[in-house]
Amino acid sequence: MKFTDKPLIYFIMGSENTGNRHPLTVLEEALSGGISYFQLREKGDFALTGHELEKFAGECQRLCGVYGVPFIVNDNVELACKIGADGVHIGQEDEDASAVRRKMGNEKILGISVHSVKEAALAVSAGADYVGMGPVFSTSSKRDAKSPAGVAGILSVKDAYPQLPVIAIGGITPDNAKLVWSAGVEGVAVISAIAGAEDAALQVERLQNSFRRSDRQ
Ligand code: 3NM
């Protein structure tokens, strides 16, 4: 993963997260606002599957390509390999992380969701490029989310693995992001605060403005 002085905003979205707005419109707004990574996370009762999913994924991938933003697929390693995504993000219940790393190869990005120092240790040994640590705050975007770990959860992983890039997730908004940044994370991952915003570009800018590297000194 690339880390610059710019705050890393990792936008996650599926076709069910954007209400009555078209998901590609929201994605394009978020890209123009300056997101650093995009993850397609297609979940829920009406989640696209098969050919429709592949078509939608291809459209998201093309848009990300226009803005030079890495395109990451949640869970679906086969789809990611088939369409040549930049990476895959998996959870604890998904395929074995070392097997996913072997399938993807070393050049692609592998992200793993963790909820404890123990899970972070396993992610490191499986070759994760980053971990998603959450939920920091309560969230309504993940049905089986664990209890909020707060900033303390992030700090415990950062203390144990200072070199491991941590992307915080769960209930992050422009109003609480500063607290999350101050725990030393490399980035913040967001679904609803961007996907549900009236103006996704403006919301991305708000998230960026919530952080100055100098805040940590
Ligand atoms: N994973 P929002 S929380 C996809 O804790 C996801 O691993 C989580 O969405 C974890 O920004 C979460 O709308 C949902 O709260 C994040």
Total domain count, the chain: 1
Atom of ligand 1 at shortest distance to CA of 145?
5
Averaged confidence pLDDT in the chain:
94
Q: What does the pLDDT look like over 161-213, one tens digit per residue?
A: 999 999 999 999 999 999 999 999 999 999 999 999 999 999 999 999 998 76
State whether the beta carbon of 139 lies less than 6 angstroms from ligand 1: yes
Asked if the structure places residue 123 within a domain, the reply is no
Whether 61 is in a domain gets the answer yes
The pLDDT value recorded for residue 152 is: 95
In sequence order, which residues have a C-beta less than 8 Å from that of residue 129 and are 6 or more positions away?
1, 87, 109, 110, 111, 165
Q: Confirm whether residue 2 is marked as ligand binding.
A: no
36 assigned to some structural domain: yes
For a pocket test of ligand 1, which of 74, 139, 207 has the largest count of ligand atoms closer than 8 A to its C-beta? 139
- Residue 96 confidence (pLDDT) above 70: yes
Given 103, 142, 146, 156, the catalytic residue: 142
| CATH code for the domain in which residue 48 is found | 3.20.20.70
Does residue 202 belong to any structural domain of this protein? yes
Please report whether residue 15 resides in a domain.
Answer: yes
Mean pLDDT of the 29-54 span: 97
> Could you tell me if residue 106 is inside a domain?
yes
Structural domain for 65, as ranges: 8-110+172-212
pTM score of the predicted model? 0.96
- Look at residue 70 and tell me if it is in a domain: yes
Q: Is residue 134 part of a domain?
A: no
**pLDDT bucket at 215, cuts 50 / 70 / 90:** low
Ligand 1 site, residue 7, Cβ cutoff 6 A: no
40 is an annotated ligand-binding site residue: yes
Tell me if residue 41 is catalytic. yes
> pLDDT tens, 104-146?
999 999 999 999 999 999 999 999 999 999 999 999 999 999 9
Q: Is 113 a known active-site residue?
A: yes
Q: For residue 60, what pLDDT band results from cuts at 50, 70 and 90?
A: very high
Centre of ligand 1 from the C-alpha of residue 145, in Å: 7
State yes or no: ipTM above 0.90. Answer: yes
Atom of ligand 1 nearest to the CA of 149: 5
From the CB of 134, is ligand 1 less than 6 Å away? yes
Q: Does residue 36 contact residue 6 with C-beta atoms inside 8 Å? A: yes
